[in-house]
Amino acid sequence: MNFFKTFLASCLGSLLAMVALVFILIAFFSAAVSNFSTDSAQVVVADNSVLHLNIDGRITELEVDDPLEGLPLPGANDPAIGLLQLKKALVHAKSDEAIRGIYLDVSVFQGGYAVAREIRESILDFKKSGKFVIAYSEMYSEASYYIASSADKVFLNPEGEIEFNGLAVEVSFFKKLFDKLEIKPEIFRVGDFKSAVEPFFLDKMSDANRLQLKELIDEINSTSLKEVAESRKIDLEKIKNISSQMLVVSPQDAKDYKLIDSLVYYDQVQSELRLKMGIGKSDKITFVKYNKYRKSFSTSSSSKNEIAVIVAEGDILPGKAQDGSIGSETFAEELRKARTNDKVKAIVLRINSPGGSALASDVMWREVILASKAKPIIASMSNYAASGGYYLAMGCDTIVAEPNTITGSIGVFSVLFDLSSFLDKKVGITFDQVKTGEVGDLVSFTRPLTEVEKSIWQKKTNKIYEGFTAKAAAGRKMQVDELRKVASGRVWSGMQAKEKGLVDIIGGFDDAVRIAAQKAGLGDDYKIKFYPKQKNFFAQWLQGLEENADAKILQHELGEGYQTLQQLKRLQHYRGTQARMPFEFSYK
């Protein structure tokens, strides 16, 4: 009897799953057909419209077209905002007669400060058209306010909040955890500032790491304050004092210190928008959201000249690219295609990476060098282009960075973990081995390394550092000894890196494209194409469905410990020698 119950239950479950899958496929193809029709006809923007720019979502360099956008399907995330597409939309809106202005809606910005600056600069450029930009929120984080301050008027809810007290950086340390578990890290590094491995053997920052972090965030904060002061027409020294002393505690403080223009509710913001648009008090405001507006125009060009933009975003790993990572095989292949394609007249590398595998970085560097011999290749740095990320950039003709880009970190490290004591005392597993020589398996987690093996690992790490710095010096046309004075794993802001000779131009993505076109002698006769091309969305969605389910279960079970677990999981990427940024941190 139980067998038949189990059998029938299994059949019913399978039937329901099939029915669900059919509905999902119907929805998928319906949405795809609908979106294809929409894209073909394009969204029509009504006259006298306001572009509603909500940028609280995830920010990536490029966004993936989502044929299921808007459907309440399981596992669906809010679509990411692609920075490069957003910039295009703002350029188009600047000359679009249907757009009267922008309603800027940003509370908790999820991108870094270099990306925030790219958006901010695009808004300032939009304002040159004479159109209005009004920002309103119930609360502003530090980065959100930095963007919002570019608006003509900045409004805050009367009971809202604004964070304006500078930046803080927090680094996680795992030494005490490893001590409790009797896990011993074996660490080999080059450079006093190469502190990526410090969390494994220290319980607080080293003096060198504290120095570089303090100088880094001071520089980033100074840049932000200077630009806020210019936009809000507040004396720079005054605004520095407001920030450092945290003088803004209440919404009224923000108004008194002129960080915002008025304390208002949303209906009052609407009244301001109606006034700007020249419509009646009871007339409806026509908003067009960004995800719709970006479908209202086409950026296709009939030009035969192409500038290939190859986007490198995430950790650097060997092999093919995965979501959120740069695969050396994929990236090298894209560079080879761009180098050998006669239609491609110049290349822009858009880099947003803290680094990763030193070997994978070197594989890609070689393709950058080969490409540079064939046509202009320009590096455009986003939030990060550090260590392995800088490795990609250093062979380019010109390196362009935002003033608050985090770059440099020219240094390497190797790390292995001796789990023998943990496995023996905590789990009850022991190991033994025989070998043919003094050195057997050089990579082992089941026993401590011998002194000979440690010596070999340090020599290997030193050798890779020597290669890294020699190639960086050649790319920057510097003497190796001169280059090493700004290496040793030290991170720099984009502005500091320019002063040290590691960066050529302070600017954004548009500046990099302009330089590429100029070096290729294209004038304005070119089109931009992004690579690698988008993956199949349906496959991505199915993968995301599974990943989201697993993540939600872990988040529910671990609570605040979930983020720590995610950091520990990243250790699996620390295989071989790493050219990686010397810390994992978050702004606060």
pLDDT, tens only, 437-477: 777 777 788 889 889 889 999 999 999 999 999 999 999 99
φ/ψ of 58, rounded to 5, equals -65, 140
Of 195, 387, 420, 488, which residue is the catalytic one? 387
Do 258 and 337 sit in the same domain of this protein? no
Q: State the pLDDT at residue 70.
A: 52
The whole-number average pLDDT for the span 518-542 is 79
| Residue that terminates a domain, selected from 230, 260, 293 | 293
Decide if 14 is inside a domain. Answer: no
Do 252 and 390 sit in the same domain of this protein? no
H/E element holding 230?
helix 207-232
221-226 own/partner pairs: CB under 8 Å, 24+ apart: 221/166, 221/167, 223/117, 223/403, 223/404, 223/493, 223/495, 224/113, 224/146, 224/404
Decide if 541 is inside a domain. Answer: yes
Do 514 and 559 sit in the same domain of this protein? yes
Decide if 201 is inside a domain. Answer: no
Do 424 and 348 sit in the same domain of this protein? yes
DSSP states of 36-94: HHHHHH-PPPPSSEEEEEE--S-EESS----TTTT---TTPPPPPEEHHHHHHHHHHHH
Is residue 387 among the annotated active site residues? Answer: yes
Nearest-5° Cα angle at 332, 111 to 394: 65
Q: Indicate if the pLDDT at residue 25 is higher than 60.
A: no
Do 288 and 334 sit in the same domain of this protein? no
Range of the domain at 578: 306-587
Decide if 581 is inside a domain. Answer: yes
How many CB atoms sit inside 10 A of residue 382's CB? Answer: 28
Decide if 199 is inside a domain. Answer: no
End-to-end CA distance of the chain: 61
Between 194 and 383, residue with greater pLDDT:
383
The whole-number average pLDDT for the span 318-331 is 90
Q: State the pLDDT at residue 23.
A: 52
| Residue that terminates a domain, selected from 293, 327, 359 | 293
Nearest-5° Cα angle at 322, 106 to 338: 95
Do 581 and 478 sit in the same domain of this protein? yes
Decide if 337 is inside a domain. Answer: yes
C-alpha 223: how far from its chain's center?
A: 19
Between 178 and 441, residue with greater pLDDT:
178
Do 423 and 315 sit in the same domain of this protein? yes
Spatial CA neighbour of 495 closest among 169, 163, 271, 215: 215
| Residue that terminates a domain, selected from 239, 260, 293 | 293
Between 163 and 555, residue with greater pLDDT:
163
Q: State the pLDDT at residue 118.
A: 97
User: pLDDT above 90 covers what percent of the chain?
Assistant: 65
Do 400 and 257 sit in the same domain of this protein? no
Pairing of strands 132-140, 99-105: parallel
H/E element holding 161?
strand 153-162
In angstroms, the CA 517 to CA 74 distance is 44
Decide if 89 is inside a domain. Answer: yes
The whole-number average pLDDT for the span 192-196 is 78
CA distances to 210, 412, 465, 571 from 461, rounded to whole Å, are 24, 7, 6, 18
Q: Indicate if the pLDDT at residue 359 is higher than 70.
A: yes
H/E element holding 156?
strand 153-162
Q: Please report which confidence band the pLDDT of residue 284 belongs to, taking 50, 70 and 90 as the band edges.
A: very high
Do 286 and 427 sit in the same domain of this protein? no
Mean of pLDDT over the chain: 86
Do 280 and 421 sit in the same domain of this protein? no
Q: Which of 48-52, 63-67, 194-198, 554-558 has the lowest mean pLDDT?
A: 554-558
Residue type, 82: G
CATH of the domain at 375: 3.90.226.10
In angstroms, the CA 476 to CA 495 distance is 16
The whole-number average pLDDT for the span 550-573 is 52
Residues 6+ apart with CB under 8 A from 515: 376, 378, 398, 400, 505
Q: Indicate if the pLDDT at residue 543 is higher than 80.
A: no
Q: State the pLDDT at residue 588.
A: 56
Q: Indicate if the pLDDT at residue 547 is higher than 50.
A: no
Selection from 37-51, 399-413, 429-443 with the highest mean pLDDT: 399-413
Q: State the pLDDT at residue 99.
A: 97
Q: Are 172 and 584 in contact (CB under 8 A)?
A: yes
Q: Please report which confidence band the pLDDT of residue 546 belongs to, taking 50, 70 and 90 as the band edges.
A: very low
Residues 6+ apart with CB under 8 A from 392: 312, 349, 351, 353, 361, 364, 365, 368, 379, 385
In angstroms, the CA 35 to CA 40 distance is 8
DSSP bridge pairs for 315: 325
The whole-number average pLDDT for the span 321-336 is 92
State the DSSP code for 97.
Answer: T
Q: Cis bond leading into 354, ω under 30°?
A: no
Q: Please report which confidence band the pLDDT of residue 34 belongs to, taking 50, 70 and 90 as the band edges.
A: very low
The whole-number average pLDDT for the span 68-76 is 50
Helix (H, G, I), strand (E, B) or coil at 206: coil
Do 264 and 148 sit in the same domain of this protein? yes
User: pLDDT above 70 covers what percent of the chain?
Assistant: 82
Q: Which of 97-106, 278-287, 538-547 has the lowest mean pLDDT?
A: 538-547
Decide if 538 is inside a domain. Answer: yes
Q: What is the pTM of this model?
A: 0.85
H/E element holding 506?
strand 505-506
Spatial CA neighbour of 172 closest among 569, 588, 583: 583
Number of domains in the chain: 2
Do 462 and 535 sit in the same domain of this protein? yes
Spatial CA neighbour of 528 closest among 35, 80, 36, 87: 87
pLDDT in tens, 39-58: 444 789 999 999 999 999 88
DSSP states of 350-413: EEEE-EEEHHHHHHHHHHHHHHHHHS-EEEEEEEEEETHHHHHHTTSSEEEE-TT-EEE---EE
Q: Are 171 and 210 in contact (CB under 8 A)?
A: no
The whole-number average pLDDT for the span 150-157 is 98
What Rg value do the Cα atoms of the chain yield, rounded?
Answer: 26
